[in-house]
Amino acid sequence: MKDIFTQRTLENGINLFIHSTDKFKTNTFCIFIHQNLRKETATRTALLPFVLKRGTKSFTTSRHLSLYLENLYGADMGGDILKRGESQILQFFMETVNQKYVAGEDIIDSSLKAFKELVLNPVEEDGGFKQVYVEQEKDVLRRNIESLYNDKFNYAIERCFQEMCRDEAFSIYKYGHIEDLETINKYNLYEYYLDCLRHCPIDFFVLGDIDADRISDKIGELFNFSRGGEKLVKTSFVRKEINGERIVEEKQDVNQGKLSMGFRTNTRYGDEDYYALMVYNGILGGGPHSKLFQNVREKASLAYYAFSKLEKTKGLMLISCGIEFKNFERAVGIIKEQLEDIKAGKISDYEFDSTVKSLINTLKETADSPSMIISMYLDGIINGVRESTDDMIKKIQDVTIEDVKKVARKIHLDTVFFLNKK
């Protein structure tokens, strides 16, 4: 994203991105630690932010840490796991009130003290993490992974991606696998944590009404820990010839059928025709104006919901519908008709114009949220793209129906997953 974040590199190789703006009443700090998505490390990576949130050397319990944050005028701090293509990313964030709304205390210094503690100074016990924290968070993560099975909406989407990419790293769930929890203990998890800090690429974002030089010096001082050679983390983009879709059926005790259809778009973020793909996706299933909503849900009354979405880093598209069990073949047939209509250019002015307006409004809303601005810029870093919101809006406005027809011809149905009743 040009002319928004300035990039600097700390002495230990951490990439620092700073956007100084008085648009927001808060300061936002985000750290992203990038790791290749692999079966061997996925569960350990997923466990780390939750163990780290339990306590630090100076704030040894989560309650102690919460009280400190409350005294910082309700500062918010935490961590989670992101999945971008075949990258698994440790995310840590902190949001504090802007300094000009606080008298006396240096809110940035006090906030960064806690943020550093969270990321770099966990509670240690005999050369590892605290045993009770690790075991408790393993139980929480186990329940989190198990809960996907009960969330049939997201379960069907995840299973479709798993089947479609069964021989690719993208098939790995971002929170890992229950069976791998058995092998994790406080020592090997701590050793893995240190290895990530030393060798994984790290991006540090700061957004708020701050002095860029001062914050750069402050972060360079606080986060000046020793690092070694940085590993290469990248997501592979698979161009795949599809000779015919694969149909996978799974039966459970469910009240509604869940249909997911996975496509290879052969276009990823950064490609010249990516914005045509965005418009294509919007026309197909991007809102109440879309073909899926109007023709599958409203006119044919076949679906309780119907939408499509892109996985822009991996170059995939997914259609998701909730249907009656008996309507599987009819629903798939009508969905395929919508795909063929777009390919043939059967796109109304209403569908096209509504899609363009919706995409532009979404981008404008993104510019009003610090976390969304950072997330969008992170996507750009991962995909080697640097462009502003205005750049993106201009590219969407330049898309024509012919561009949409052209990108439609590159899209191929790979896998149909149907969650059926027993």
| For residue 403, pLDDT beyond 90 | yes
Residue 238, in any domain of the structure: no
Domain that holds residue 263: 246-421
Same domain, 126 and 180: yes
Same domain, 312 and 213: no
Whole-model pTM over 0.75: yes
Same domain, 211 and 352: no
Among 206, 222, 238, identify where a domain stops: 222
CB atoms within 10 A of CB 131: 13
Same domain, 269 and 135: no
Same domain, 265 and 173: no
Residue 230, in any domain of the structure: no
Same domain, 213 and 262: no
DSSP 270-301: TBTTHHHHHHHHHHHHSSTTSHIIIIIIIIS-
- pLDDT interval class at 240 (50, 70, 90): confident
| For residue 108, pLDDT beyond 70 | yes
Same domain, 287 and 217: no
Same domain, 153 and 263: no
Same domain, 393 and 280: yes
Residue 275, in any domain of the structure: yes
**How far, in Å, CA of 379 to CA of 235, rounded?**
12
Among 222, 256, 289, identify where a domain stops: 222
Would strands 26-36 and 202-208 be described as parallel, antiparallel, or unpaired? antiparallel
CATH number of the domain bearing residue 323: 3.30.830.10
**How far, in Å, CA of 259 to CA of 133, rounded?**
39
Same domain, 381 and 310: yes
pLDDT digits (tens, 9 = 90+) for 190-205: 999 999 999 999 999 9
332: left (phi over 0), alpha (psi -120 to 50) or beta: alpha
Same domain, 119 and 196: yes
Our count of domains for the chain comes to: 2
Residue 239, in any domain of the structure: no
Q: What is the mean pLDDT of residues 206-223?
A: 95
Residue 201, in any domain of the structure: yes
| For residue 386, pLDDT beyond 70 | yes
Sheet with 202-208: strands ordered across: 6-9, 15-20, 202-208, 26-36, 87-97, 76-84
